[in-house]
Homo-oligomer: A and B are copies of this chain.
Amino acid sequence: MAAVNRRIVLASRPHGEPSAAHFRLEEGRAPTPRDGEILLRTRWLSLDPYMRGRMSAAKSYAEPVAIGEPMTGEVVAEVAASNDPAYAVGDLVAAFSGWQDYAIATGKGLRRVDPALAPPTTALGILGMPGMTAYAGLLTIGRPKPGETVVVAAAAGPVGSLVGQIARIKGARVVGIAGGPEKCAYLTETLGFDAALDHRGDDLPGALAAACPGGIDVYFENVGGAVFEAVMPLLNDFARMPVCGLVAGYNATELPAGPDRTPLLMRAILTKRLHLQGFIVWDFADQAPAFQRDVSDWLKAGRVTYREDIVEGLENAPEAFIGMLRGRNFGKLVVRVA
């Protein structure tokens, strides 16, 4: 008899901040692989801010999760049964099989994970999608030059922390913004950032101006909101802004009060000749080999490091996800499923 398959489905679409009521834990039977198929058993599930977007019906770069369907997400899974000669029981793979214990896969879309090279969870973090997001967005759009100032928010998270470390490797001065003194200390003491600012402080615009006496050349945008407002007046001519995420607004239910400040942004783009460009990691798929090579080398050489925040048990994924949107995690948020 097949094992129990727990899965967390989208129960309803949140208006504003998600709560536990928007998720539902269901139990069923693990599916049976057919010819050419593989049964995956989830070991670790990655939780990432983009998932908030998938809970909404609004058009985006990906289809929303349907009501009653498992939440989307990347996992590191073990092959539990295989009808594909290319995969043996016990092999580890990364797959987009969602918030559940078991899933059927074909070889298509799987990425092998070699535990001898690095801890398997790194395939969900620094050597996975968040790492490549940082690498490709910073180097392709941000293009920091030696001596320039790079600002990144959510800087203790998996994307921001690598953005800052790569910018340092490229010779830039790096100012990170994070929530709370513990994360700020991590940025300067462990990651070697030049300065760290607590966005919960009294005067973020003033603190940022003081930390960036030469202005800002690259702002890696992954939060929006108050940080964006503090950054804008400090941008130098020809500054670049890779737009990777806007997590501060993901739970917003209405637009900020007026006036409409769009003309100010457009005027700044014109007069400062700014370059703003949105991207998602898939847009840079051709950079995957360079990313894997460079970041693996930097990891081995101790030039970059990472931090994980591991939550135990699939049933705790919704609460951990809700907390992440509030900035409660400290490091790459991963759920240990089995």
Residues of A bordering B, CB below 8 Å: 59-61, 221, 224, 228, 237, 243-246, 249, 252, 254-280, 283
Contacts and interface: CB of A to CB of B under 8 A. Distances in A.
Given A237-B61, A258-B258, A273 B278 contact: yes
Given A255-B260, A258-B260, A266 B224 contact: yes
Contacts of A60: 271
Contact of A278 (B243, B249, B271): B271
A262 B267 CA distance: 12
> What is the total number of copies of this protein in its complex?
2
Given A228-B266, A257-B259, A260-B260, A61 B279 contact: no
Given A273-B278, A275-B277, 7 more contacts: A61-B272, A246-B267, A258-B259, A261-B262, A269-B276, A269-B278, A273-B279
B245 A255 contact: no
A260 B263 contact: no
A244 B270 contact: yes
A274 B278 contact: yes
Contact of A283 (B252, B254, B273, B276): B273
A262 B262 contact: yes
A252 B259 contact: no
Nearest to A283: B273
Contacts of A255: 258-261, 263-264
A268 B277 CA distance: 10
A266 B262 CA distance: 10
A132 to B, nearest CB: 15
A144 to B, nearest CB: 17
From A59, A257, A271, residue with most partner B Cβ within 10 Å: A271
A253 B228 CA distance: 24
Given A262-B261, A276-B277, A270 B254 contact: no
B224 A263 contact: yes
21 contacts: A224-B263, A243-B270, A254-B259, A255-B264, A256-B260, A256-B263, A257-B258, A257-B259, A259-B260, A261-B262, A262-B262, A262-B265, A265-B265, A269-B276, A269-B277, A269-B278, A271-B278, A272-B278, A273-B283, A275-B275, A275-B276
